Structure 1
Amino acid sequence: MNICVKTKYLRSSFVSSLCRLSTAPDLEQNEQVVLIDDTEDVQAKEAAIEKKRNKSGLTQAHYNIINGRRPYEEPKCIAHLTVKYSRKMYGKYGIASGVNPSLCWPTREELREKKEFESVAYPYTIKEVMDSVEIKRQEQKLKTEQREIELASKFAKLEQWKKELNDKINKKANEVKAAKQKKERLVEEVRRHFGFTLDPRDERFQEMLAKREKEQKKLEKQARMEAKEKIMIAKLQQKNVEISEK
């Protein structure tokens, strides 16, 4: 920074001296003063100094981005010459990007394509969309109300279902208990049949047990058939009584 200030100061002093010499009374009329413009050299030196100050190791493009400037002052590839890239630069850096703002406005062809796309992608008007949303909302509301009514109806039957489930569980437990007692009774009958203690895994014991079970099933089947016959006879008698009364 000190170097730059000193250089500018020396240049100003030199120019002032030349101006004083050019206005001196004893200067010949035909003498010409030549001024040397060292602005480019100073700018080059300042750029070199600025480059040396950058200790980040980033590329110039990345350094510019970090400092909120456009990455490239000049195009580096074909993509940088496109309208899309120019619009992007203007949108991010504004007037500092050096892009003509008129490029950001769509062309006639782009407007036509956009309208055609919207006519296909969004064929309905705002009013039609709002009506459709309202219909769906009413349908969803109706489904919710029906679901609430259904849940209330099921909740009212909850106690009945619990009772039916408990009855079913108790019935199953009673059936298991009865089957176990039946098995034990048959085993005891087989033991009494042999008259002495016999291992239940013995082949003779198993054969006699199977025979007893078969006989028991036959008796139970016969009992069920007799019960059905009694029920049918009772129904027929009831029907005959009703006919006779008429």
Structure 2
Amino acid sequence: MALLNRFRGLVLSPSLLQRVNYRNASTETKSVTEEIYGTMADTDQDEVMLEREAIIEVKRDKSRLNPEHRNMLHKRLPYDEPKNEFHLTLTHKKRMFGRYGRSPNLDLDLGHLWPTEEEIAAKLEYDRIANPYGVLELAARERAKIDEKAKAIDERQKKIVENMKKLERWKADVKQRASKKLADVQAAQAKKEALIEEVRRHFGFKIDPKDERFKEVLQQKEKALKKKAKEEKAKLRQEKLIAEMTKKSES
């Protein structure tokens, strides 16, 4: 307390006061300068951070898509500004609003989203021509289609069941035809061998089947057999015809 009273009673010289005021002014100027440069430094730092974030975002994008396509991928309005006259039309703006919703870059009065009387009339006329049937008639037509389809399925299933019943008979017919064909082949082969043996007996000695004499006699024998078979077939046909005529005359 005594020390404080001593300072209160102290009278400072003008030079000392000048030096004290100069120091205070320098301190205030320095603080203001530091504050200004600190604010500028903060601003520059923010700009550097924003630029850095932009560079990182560009490097992060590996899709290599155009900005418009990238915006569409992220459900955003493709263009920040109209690119052609079509982008200024109301139809395009309505379409963009329907796909991407509100956007600051989309200049559209929401009142224009409601259709005009002419558009409503045109839509009603289109529906009348494109869909001439009423709800009940459409339901009846669909029901008829379903019934027709179910009927076709039933008929096909019945046909499959009938064919399965005939399967055993078809298998027996196939086996019979195969057996008959095999028997015909074997008979023809046996007939051929018998004819060759007959030709060999004709010469009275062993002869090579490739010999021209053997081939000539074999050909004559084959012609004779074909002629005989043809005559027998004609005879059978004649006998059958006579039998039919006799039966008709008796009746």
The TM-score by the shorter chain falls in which range?
Answer: 0.5 to 0.7
1:164 has 2:173 as partner:
yes
Residue equivalent to 1:82:
89
CA-CA distance at 1:160 after TM superposition:
0.8
Residue equivalent to 1:14:
none
Residues 51 and 62 (structure 1), Cα distance of their counterparts in 2 relative to 1, 3 Å cut:
farther
Deviations 1:24-76 (A, max 9, x none): xxxxxxxxxxxxxxxxxx9xx97897456322348887787788765555545
Code of the residue aligned with 1:194 in structure 2: it is F
Residue equivalent to 1:109:
118
Residues 63 and 213 (structure 1), Cα distance of their counterparts in 2 relative to 1, 3 Å cut:
closer
TM-score by length of 1: 0.66
Residue equivalent to 2:25:
none
Separation in 2, partners of 1:53, 1:181: 99
Code of the residue aligned with 2:163 in structure 1: it is K
Separation in 2, partners of 1:140, 1:207: 69
Higher alpha-carbon deviation: 56-65 or 90-99: 56-65
> Helix, strand or coil: the match of 2:205?
coil
Selected match of 1:150 from 131, 137, 159: 159
Higher alpha-carbon deviation: 228-237 or 153-162: 228-237
Separation in 2, partners of 1:92, 1:212: 94
Separation in 1, partners of 2:68, 2:225: 100
Does the aligned pair in 2 maintain the 1:70–1:89 contact within 8 Å?
A: yes
Matches within 5 A, 1:12-27: none
Residue equivalent to 2:53:
53
Identity %, equivalent residues:
34
Code of the residue aligned with 1:192 in structure 2: it is R
Separation in 2, partners of 1:228, 1:62: 89
CA-CA distance at 1:118 after TM superposition:
2.0
Deviations 1:178-217 (A, max 9, x none): 0000000000000110112222122211111111111112
Selected match of 1:210 from 187, 211, 219: 219
Selected match of 1:195 from 183, 201, 204: 204
Residues 203 and 106 (structure 1), Cα distance of their counterparts in 2 relative to 1, 3 Å cut:
same
Counting matched residue pairs gives 202
Deviations 1:111-166 (A, max 9, x none): 22222222222222222221111111111111111111211111111111111111
Code of the residue aligned with 2:158 in structure 1: it is I
Code of the residue aligned with 1:188 in structure 2: it is E
Residues 236 and 142 (structure 1), Cα distance of their counterparts in 2 relative to 1, 3 Å cut:
same
Residue equivalent to 2:130:
121
Q: CA RMSD in A?
A: 3.5
Residues 228 and 90 (structure 1), Cα distance of their counterparts in 2 relative to 1, 3 Å cut:
closer
Deviations 1:7-38 (A, max 9, x none): 9xx8xxxxxxxxxxxxxxxxxxxxxxxxxxxx
> Helix, strand or coil: the match of 2:210?
coil
Which stretches in structure 1 are left out of the alignment for 5+ residues? 1-5, 11-41
1:91 has 2:98 as partner:
yes
Residues 208 and 119 (structure 1), Cα distance of their counterparts in 2 relative to 1, 3 Å cut:
same
Code of the residue aligned with 2:225 in structure 1: it is Q
Residues 238 and 133 (structure 1), Cα distance of their counterparts in 2 relative to 1, 3 Å cut:
same
Separation in 2, partners of 1:172, 1:144: 39
Residues 93 and 238 (structure 1), Cα distance of their counterparts in 2 relative to 1, 3 Å cut:
closer
Code of the residue aligned with 1:208 in structure 2: it is V
Give the greater-gyration-radius structure (CA).
2
Separation in 2, partners of 1:132, 1:138: 10
Higher alpha-carbon deviation: 214-223 or 226-235: 226-235
Separation in 2, partners of 1:66, 1:235: 91
